[in-house]
Amino acid sequence: MAKKLIGILVAIIVIVLIYFLNKPLGTTPALGMFLSPTHGFWKSTSNTETRNQSIEIKCVKGNATVVYDEIGVPHIFADNEEDLMYAQGYVEAKDRLWQMEFQMYAAAGRLTELVGEKALPLDRFSRRIGLVRAAKNSLEEVNRNPISKMIIESFTAGVNAYIHQLKKSEIPVEYKLIGYTPEDWTPLKCALLMKYMAKDLTYYDTDVENTNALHKFGEEAYKKMYPDFPFGLDPIIPKETKWNFKSVDSFSLKTSTANKNNQAVLYKNPYKQFYSNPNYGSNNWCINGSKTASGKPILCGDPHLGLNLPSIWYEVQLSCPGLNVYGVTIPGAPGVIIGHNDSIAWSVTNSERDVINNYSVEYDAKKTSYKLGNEFVPFEYDEEIYKIKDGKDFKEKIKITKIGAVVYDENFGEQDDKKHLATYWRAEEPSNDLMAFYYLNKAKNHQDYLNALNYYACPGQNFIYADASNNIAIRQQGNFMLRTNYGDGSFITPLANVDILKLKARIPNEQNPYILNPTRNFCASANQNPVDENYPYYTNGHYENYRNRVINDVLTNASNYTWKDMAKLHNNNLSLMAKESLPTILSYLNNTGDDAMSKKIISTLKSWNYYADANSEAPTFFYKLGEEIQKVTYDEMDNKASYRIPESYNTANLLVNDPKFILFDIHNTDTVETAKEVVNIAFKNTVAFFTELTKPSTRMKQSANEAETAAKKDALVWQHYKNTTITHLARLKAFSVSDVNIGGYHNIVNACSDLWGPSWRMIVDFTDGKPQCYGVYPGGQSGNPASLGFTEFIEKWAKGEYFKLHFYANKAEAQKGISKK
């Protein structure tokens, strides 16, 4: 009997043990589950990539054939569009399910369900700015059109077909690590993905910072710090282009209303860290036959986005009667976003136009309504519930006005009622952007391309175009606000003064910046100003001013080019900023120290060719010095309010051409400093920084081996100092790749920075009449960390090499293609 009791006791111990092994603890997954070979991470090795294989997928109407080539790109062949979209959903889920879902958790403000309380501020931000509200508006629009409804529903069905056949024990390892399982995909998630991209590319607004700067520094300084048109302006549409249309609104662009906001308060931007990265951007360009060896056009593109694993891009070929297209898409999106078909090729860069207005709110006494015009309008409310992992639900009511939510209020970052901000974001306007890609994928000629773009609204993009008949074009397309005065939309203004009809009005599509077959024989964009002062609308944004000039310079001189010359331009590391400003900076230096580091920095910078190559030390010194110069220059921008550091090209320009600019004066000294003193102080700081960085630490003595690694990874070499890292989406270091051997930086054509850079490099060469595509991205087709292909393309990408991609005419050719290997 005693034995029996002991037996029961042991059984209880086992049950308790299993209970604890089956329970995740904080960020540690349920260890029993996670380690068990039948259900744990070992088992997540079952669905890795497919290669050199042809598979059949049973779709709604018939079967689709998917031929995976040697790098894991699926070439999908179906008999009709429904089945094609279904199969695309299926294969995207097969390779990228976890990523697709995780992005949607982020977009919907549901990260707290996965990682707990720490994600609450970000989730609240996402819900307040209205990603889901925007997606719902778009979905209504999508459902009104039978084609887009079909696309989104077939795609969704395909994703779900994959999810439903997936064994729970074989789901990707990230699910097991975080401790959740896939949910069903929905059409709303497809719509939400577009808004997620809109957030990534447009949710960078500086109304708060501009208002503060204008208030603190005055109009004259403001205009120098944040000019609408920078020095050396080289817009997308060549300067002096005549616009042969009348603007919609009768207005005079010359009226200055910069002083629109007279409220003498400084605003805060408490959750600025959740804004998108203003440096995200892209390059694209194309040249026509007069500049190529073959006499046919070549088109290139490289979107600069966050460098993540799994990669944001996924390559695919889609083929059915009436459609045959190759390119990249974002997992979760149907169709091809950047690519080519038999007749045309296209790529996109971000327009960088400002599509956000912030307004100060005036409440009634009870704070249940807000002033609009002369009356008080009651708020509507969004009731949001945040489910929190290992915690109690968090609930909040968000005040909604006719133009958008009150984002910053007493519940979220701003205690002072007078400084509450309501935000109008253009992405909340209904749109059916999906149709733009649907028609682009099928476009046969230039007219088809223009018609397709008319569907496209947000995030505004520069769509570059080339076709087999030697036409080239570029159009900046989006649903842009009709801004009628300088300063419109750049400052906080009272919500009470808003004219809603005018706010929602848009520049007609045919009046968007556009050029076909320019006399210079190339088109290009690199996030610079789209137009010069002659364009009859105010086009404010946050523009770039170096990459565009390097690209335009190379293309102006191009002749007899082949795709290899284009590859060189993609990987061009010239720092125009250094070329334009470094000689002046060096001339400002006096009485630099006699220490080894000072001498080393000066001699390195003096002999620099201005190329930020991976193995060079000069860019390390130059960019650190630049950072220090900005810090010293803008010492006036204290922490009491939010400010924005002017674009580095403006600082560089002021440094060279306006060294007595008032901001160079250091605030807390009695003397008056100029750019020269600023540079000298910054240089001293830089020397101190690098002296500290290279000081042999006690740690290095530990073992010869460690010292060797430390020596090898010389901290001053650009590659190691910059430390380009391709980060796993869940920020898992073990799944990320760091210290990638690649040069470049922001404001350089090869815009490879620490955490973002060229996320897909594509060259489409029409040499033989038939387009040949070369492409590479820093990742791999399979998003499964258990796949060989997870990080496969990174090395080639870093070296500036490309894959020659297969564009098959039909299923038979594709199957023959893989059987040869």
Partner 1 sequence: MFLVKVIIIAVLSFILTLFLPWYGVAIAAFITGLVFSNKPGNNFLAGFFGVGLFWLAYALFLDIRNQHILSSKIATLFSENIGTEITTGVLIMVTTFLGALLGALSCMAGAMIMDDGSRMRRRRAIKRGNYKLKLN
Binding residues vs partner 1 (CB under 8 A): 3-4, 6-8, 10-11, 13-14, 17-18, 21-22, 28, 31-33, 35-46, 48, 173, 177, 732-735, 785-788, 790
Gap between the Cα atoms of 25 and 179, Å rounded:
10
**Minimal distance in Å, beta carbon 72 to partner 1?**
14
How many H-runs (helices) and E-runs (strands) does the chain carry?
24, 27
From residue 760, alpha-carbon distances to 156, 303, 312, 367, 459 in Å are: 25, 6, 9, 49, 18
Question: Three-class SS of residue 297?
Answer: coil
DSSP type of residue 353 = B
Q: In 71-186, which ranges are continuous DSSP H helix?
A: 81-107, 112-115, 120-129, 131-144, 146-165, 173-178
Distance CA 507, CA 435 (A): 20
> Residue 783 CB, nearest distance to partner 1 (Å)?
13
Contact (CB, 8 A) for 744 and 761: no
* Structural contact between residues 485 and 258, judged by C-beta atoms closer than 8 angstroms: no
Nearest CB to partner 1, comparing residues 87 and 309: 309
- CA torsion 686→690→693→697, rounded to 10°? -130
CB 412, min distance to partner 1, A: 33
For 439, the 3-state DSSP assignment is helix
C-alpha 94/C-alpha 211 separation (Å) is 48
Which class for 335: exposed (0-12), middle (13-18), buried (19 or more C-beta within 10 A)? Answer: buried
All residues at 6 or more sequence positions from 86 whose CB lies less than 8 Å from its CB, including other chains? 57, 59, 60, 64, 78, 154, 155, 157, 158, 161
Give, as one character, the DSSP assignment of residue 457: -
Least separation in angstroms between CB 733 and partner 1: 6
Residue 41 CB, shortest distance to partner 1, in Å, is 5
Paired tokens of 72:
């894991």
Token couple for 465: 């175009």
Beta bridge mates, 349: 462
Min dist. Cβ of residue 40 to partner 1 (A): 7
- Residue 113 corresponds to which tokens in the numbers above? 């369900």
Q: How far is the CB of 702 from partner 1 (least distance, A)?
A: 15
Structure tokens of 570? 């993609």
Q: How far is the CB of 104 from partner 1 (least distance, A)?
A: 24
Please say which residue, 174 or 352, places its beta carbon nearer to partner 1: 174
91, 92, 97, 102: CA torsion to nearest 10: -170
Helix locations, 203-321, DSSP H: 207-225
Rounded least distance, CB 53 to partner 1, Å = 17
Cβ distance to partner 1 smaller for residue 21 or 505 = 21
C-beta separation of 209 from 269 below 8 A = yes
Least distance in Å: CB of 19 to partner 1?
9
Shorter beta-carbon distance to partner 1: residue 3 or 254: 3
| Minimum CB distance to partner 1 smaller for 174 or for 544 | 174
Dihedrals phi, psi of 681, to nearest 5 degrees: -65, -45
Which ranges in 278-338 belong to alpha helices (H)? none
Q: Which two tokens stand for residue 140?
A: 């209504």
In DSSP terms, 737 is beta-bridged to 726
d(Cα 717, Cα 19) in Å, to the nearest integer? 51
Considering beta carbons, is residue 22 or 615 the nearer one to partner 1? 22
Instruction: Work out how close the CB of 68 gets to partner 1 at its nearest, in angstroms, rounded to a whole number.
Output: 18
Specify the residue, 75 or 728, whose C-beta has the smaller distance to partner 1: 728
* Residue 669 vs 709, nearer CB to partner 1: 709
Q: Measured from the CB atom, is 564 or 713 closer to partner 1?
A: 713
The answer for residues whose C-beta is within 8 angstroms of residue 6's C-beta and 6 or more apart is none
Residue 574, sorted as left (phi over 0), alpha (psi -120 to 50) or beta, turns out to be beta
Residue labelled with tokens 């190559």:
613
Look up tokens 């496209």; give the residue: 456
**Which 3 state secondary structure label does DSSP give 679?**
helix
Return the number of the residue (46 or 559) whose C-beta is nearest partner 1.
46
Minimal distance, residue 52 CB to partner 1, in Å:
17
Choose between 500 and 788: whose C-beta lies nearer to partner 1. Answer: 788
Q: Please, what is the minimum distance in Å from the beta carbon of residue 32 to partner 1?
A: 6
Return the number of other C-beta atoms located less than 10 Å from residue 620's C-beta. Answer: 24
Nearest residue (CB) to partner 1, 28 versus 609: 28
Least Å distance, CB 13 to partner 1, is: 7
Which residue number, 39 or 806, has a Cβ lying nearer to partner 1?
Answer: 39
Q: How far is the CB of 45 from partner 1 (least distance, A)?
A: 4
Can you give the length of the chain in residues? Answer: 821
Asked whether 284 and 457 are in contact (CB, 8 A), the reply is no
CB of 779 to partner 1, least distance (A): 15
- CB-wise, 13 or 596, nearer to partner 1? 13
Whole-number minimum distance, CB 14 to partner 1, in Å? 5
Q: Is 21 or 266 the residue whose CB approaches partner 1 more closely?
A: 21
Joined together, the tokens standing for residue 787 give: 């796949």
Which residue number, 36 or 723, has a Cβ lying nearer to partner 1? 36
Query: With contact defined as beta carbons under 8 Å apart, do 326 and 67 qualify?
Result: no
**Rounded to whole angstroms, how far apart are CA atoms 706 and 713?**
11
Helices 547-556 and 576-588: crossing angle in degrees, nearest 10, is 120
Q: Residue 45 or 609: which CB sits closer to partner 1?
A: 45
The answer to whether the bond into 321 is cis (omega within 30° of 0) is no
Shortest Å, Cβ 727 to partner 1:
14
Return the number of the residue (18 or 500) whose C-beta is nearest partner 1: 18
CB-based contacts of 172: which residues, under 8 Å, 6+ apart? 44, 47, 97, 98, 783, 784, 785
